[in-house]
Amino acid sequence: MLNVQAITKSYDKNEILDNLTFTVNPGEIIGLVGENGAGKSTLLRLLATIDKPNHGSLTLFDLSYKKNRKAVRKHIGYVPQDIAIWEELSVKENMQFFEKLSFQSKSIDELKQLCLEMNLDKWNDPVKSLSGGMKRKLNIAITLIHSPDLLLLDEPTVGIDLKSKKEIGAYLRKLAKEQNRMIIYTSHDMDEINELCDRVFCIGNDTFYEEILRNSGKDVILI
């Protein structure tokens, strides 16, 4: 379980997050929505151990972020908005490169299977020749090499085709339900959030997203 207690975050005098408290259970996909600048990406960076809160506490499986930062990182996979892969290398070479940096070793067959499960079958093709959807899939596959228990996805399907969106969504649901992973997922696409997520956290002061989601019957929580 991920436990977030009274988290605040500010940069200089600019307060981004104010007293956020919530939990995420194994097997859940949580949607995180809000207007631009509401703090979604900031929150994911805190949860990914890239940044630290000013106040409050974070724990993952009873491991304190403050006291066990290195141990916590082994349980986390983070996919930022920007695609971070080597364009000149093939899919295979990218997977091999990042496997060497991973907390967990994987064989070539295991790496290839990870890609195939996401309908990414361009194993020997250079990344620069792939579609945007294929690149997004590879970005996620790389993040899953070490089998993280908590997967943090910052708009992972922005700018890609509907088929790739559906395939990524189906794979994430499988991860959550069959492997008990926790997933936090940001998107401005409310249809995607409605279809994919078990619960939705609304962050910020704008009620626009909250009203849309409540009208659809989704379980919405203000944080």
Give Cα 99 to chain centroid, integer Å.
Answer: 19
Residue 207 lies in a domain: yes
Residue 109 lies in a domain: no
Residue 98, amino acid: F
SS3 24: strand
pLDDT tens column, 20-54: 999 999 999 999 999 888 899 999 999 999 999 99
Residue 107 lies in a domain: no
Give the count of domains, the chain. Answer: 1
Residue 94 lies in a domain: no
The whole-number average pLDDT for the span 131-151 is 95
In this prediction, residue 167 carries a pLDDT of 92
CA-based end-to-end distance of the chain: 17
Residue 12: other Cβ atoms inside 10 A: 5
Cα–Cα distances (Å) from 60 to 26, 112, 128, 201, in that order, read: 11, 29, 37, 18
pLDDT tens column, 47-76: 999 999 999 999 999 999 999 999 999 999
Q: Determine the Cα–Cα distance for residues 118 and 136; give it in Å rounded to an integer.
A: 10
Cα–Cα distances (Å) from 116 to 109, 113, 121, 163, 167, in that order, read: 10, 5, 6, 15, 11
The chain-wide mean pLDDT, for the chain, equals: 93
Highest mean pLDDT among 9-13, 87-91, 156-160, 208-212: 87-91
Residue 21 lies in a domain: yes
Q: Are 186 and 35 in contact (CB under 8 A)?
A: no
Q: Determine the Cα–Cα distance for residues 201 and 181; give it in Å rounded to an integer.
A: 18
SS3 content of the chain, % helix, strand, coil (to 5): 35, 25, 40
Residue 195 lies in a domain: yes
- Parent domain of 31: 2-84+150-222
What CATH code is carried by the domain that includes residue 158?
3.40.50.300
